[in-house]
């Protein structure tokens, strides 16, 4: 499958990380299930994908409210991240996105805009040997409002020194696409794992 990019010439590419550059969502879900299972907390797979792009502490806090639980947010977040890091040897890149990274690298600047922690993003990109291709990383905790708010994308454009309207966003979630649109940026949606094979 080839990704169909919107028309126009772009001065920067902004990429979400999980599910966009890194085919990591299935691995993140395994880590979530295990970490939350230790607290007898359910996390439906459909909901997990719907909440893609939401920072980890926000997910745990929301699940606490939803299920009337009192999981210690930082403890569970740390446990989930360490479980994910254990799964990293299985990580692969999303080929359709990798193609665009390789095609435009060195021609225009790239940023990663993620709801994951900086540690998690660096670990994923390092595993894929892609970390050096990105000029800027904007990760959870480095902006105050998460997607669908445009703040994280606007921060990335500012750090790259390009106007928001000249950026193209690669995203796999509806929240991310909404954030890109709110930032005045064009976007391309990456289908979930099951829908990519042609």
- Output phi, psi for 167, to 5 deg: -100, 145
When computed from its CA atoms, the radius of gyration of the chain, rounded to whole angstroms, is: 16
Active site residue 158: no
Cβ pair 135, 111 in contact under 8 A:
yes
Catalytic residue among 16, 18, 23, 172: 16
Return d(Cα 191, Cα 38) in angstroms, integer. 31
Neighbours of 176 (CB within 10 A): 28
Identify each DSSP E strand in the chain by its residue range.
Answer: 12-15, 110-113, 136-138, 167-171, 186-189
Known catalytic residues are: 16
């Amino acid at each position: 499958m080839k990704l169909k990019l919107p028309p126009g010439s772009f001065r920067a590419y902004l990429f979400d990380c999980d599910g966009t550059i890194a085919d990591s969502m299935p691995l993140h879900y395994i880590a979530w299930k295990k970490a939350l299972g230790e607290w007898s907390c359910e996390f439906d797979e459909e909901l997990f994908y719907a909440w893609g792009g939401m920072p980890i502490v926000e997910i745990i806090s929301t699940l606490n409210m939803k299920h009337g639980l009192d999981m210690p947010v930082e403890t569970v977040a740390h446990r989930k991240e360490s479980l994910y890091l254990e799964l990293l040897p299985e990580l692969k890149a999303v080929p359709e996105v990798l193609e665009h990274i390789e095609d435009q690298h060195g021609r225009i600047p790239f940023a990663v805009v993620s709801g994951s922690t900086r540690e998690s993003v660096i670990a994923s990109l390092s595993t894929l040997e892609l970390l050096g291709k990105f000029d800027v990383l904007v990760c959870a905790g480095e902006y105050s409002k998460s997607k669908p708010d445009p703040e994280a994308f606007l921060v990335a454009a500012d750090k790259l020194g390009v106007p928001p309207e000249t950026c193209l966003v690669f995203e796999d979630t509806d929240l991310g696409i909404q954030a890109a649109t709110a930032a005045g940026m064009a976007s391309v949606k990456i289908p979930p794992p099951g829908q990519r094979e042609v």
